[in-house]
Amino acid sequence: MRYDFSSDNSTGMAPAALDGLIAANGGAVPAYGKDEVTARAADQIRARLDADAEVRFVFSGTAANAVALSMLAWPFEAVLAHHAAHVCTDESGAPGFFGQGVGLIGLPGFSGKIDSRALNAALAEPEIAHRQPQAALSVTQCTEYGAVYTVDELRRLIEPVKARGMGVHMDGARLANAAAAGFDLTQIARLGVDVLVFGGAKAGANCAEALVLFDKSLVRRIDNRLKQAGQTASKARFLAGPMLGLLESEAWETGAAHANRMALRLAEGIATRTPYVLAHPVEANAVFVRMPDKAHARLLAAGWACYRFDDGSVRFVCSWATTEEVVDEVLTAIVGLD
């Protein structure tokens, strides 16, 4: 393999995250998240969000999303989300498993952004006993197609949902990339988001994600819920340590900004040097390209891993570790496909 552009999960830990893990390894500390490393990492997250919130570190984004949704909807209820959202397409029914039957209602929208008209139409549907009523909204920032919601776009989705007394979850697996693209993290709580998944793995941590609870009514027995779900780490400092390393060094931000720049460099090269068309605007760290199957196969055979996505386009994802040199090399390979 020359380079793996299929996902930002493919890279190792960022140096700052690895340093954080090594630093967390020293000495004996209280278990189950009662240690100073975990407390400091939680404080770093609260500072970025400018909000008072409960923070727990878990092993995966899927578990974080599923546990969050299980707190916002009863088993006989459903969650509204974009039909291409990770919770709908890539979590193997985890929201329904953790939520003991919680359903998902997929909504349309370009580049993974929920169309506000579609949302309002769904909200206007009458409740009947034969299908699960809507209880919450899930939004993804950045979206599965690399789009970044503006604050106003999110407000147009969240306000009508909150007006009906429903909860709001935000999947922030790539929240660092959204922040690097200009999204104001301090607006998340003010918009009315109840539960946020603050991404670490794709930003350069190990497998760590943070579950952030703005709605304090959800905190009751959260630790029991996570323990039952197998998401309570006895040595929690090894989840929090890499996150702390990223956040205290600001590598969480700088790594995402670098990834975004590499994606833009790749997109500009494809747009100007190849016959292929970009399938979605490039706003964060992902590039989606309309590419024939034969061309994609040749690229894979040459050692350039890239992923055929749900809409048929080929996805290239950049990370903190992607260099200008490797971007230029893959561009040369793409140019030479014809």
Per-residue DSSP letters for 287-329?
A: EEEE--HHHHHHHHHTTEE-EE-TTSPEEEE--TT--HHHHHH
Rg, Å, the chain Cα set: 20
pLDDT beyond 90 at 313: yes
> 247 exposed, middle or buried (CB, 10 Å; 0-12, 13-18, 19+)?
buried
Q: What is the pLDDT of residues 15-56, one digit of tens each?
A: 999 999 999 999 999 999 899 999 999 999 999 999 999 999
Q: What is the mean pLDDT of the chain?
A: 96
Helix (H) or strand (E) holding 205: none
Q: How confident is residue 338, by pLDDT bands cut at 50, 70 and 90?
A: confident
Q: What is the pLDDT of residues 263-289, one digit of tens each?
A: 999 999 999 999 999 999 999 999 999
Least confident of 106-110, 226-230, 255-259: 226-230
* pTM, full prediction: 0.97
> What secondary structure letter does DSSP report for 137?
E
Angle among Cα 200, 204, 206 to the nearest 5 degrees reads 70
Structure tokens at 231: 């998401």
Please tell me whether residue 286 adopts helix, strand or coil conformation.
strand
Q: What is the pLDDT of residue 1?
A: 85
Q: Among 103, 254, 86, which residue's Cα sits nearest to residue 179? A: 254
Q: What is the mean pLDDT of residues 6-13?
A: 94
* CB of 67 closer than 8 Å to CB of 58: yes
Q: What is the pLDDT of residue 337?
A: 86
H-state helical runs in 112-150? 116-123
Please tell me whether residue 90 adopts helix, strand or coil conformation.
coil
Handedness of CA 226, 51, 260, 258 (dihedral sign): negative
* Beta strand 277-278 pairing with 78-82: unpaired
Q: What is the pLDDT of residues 130-143, one digit of tens each?
A: 999 999 999 999 99
Q: What is the pLDDT of residues 54-93, one digit of tens each?
A: 999 999 999 999 999 999 999 999 999 999 999 999 999 9
**How many angstroms separate the CA atoms of 78 and 289, rounded?**
33
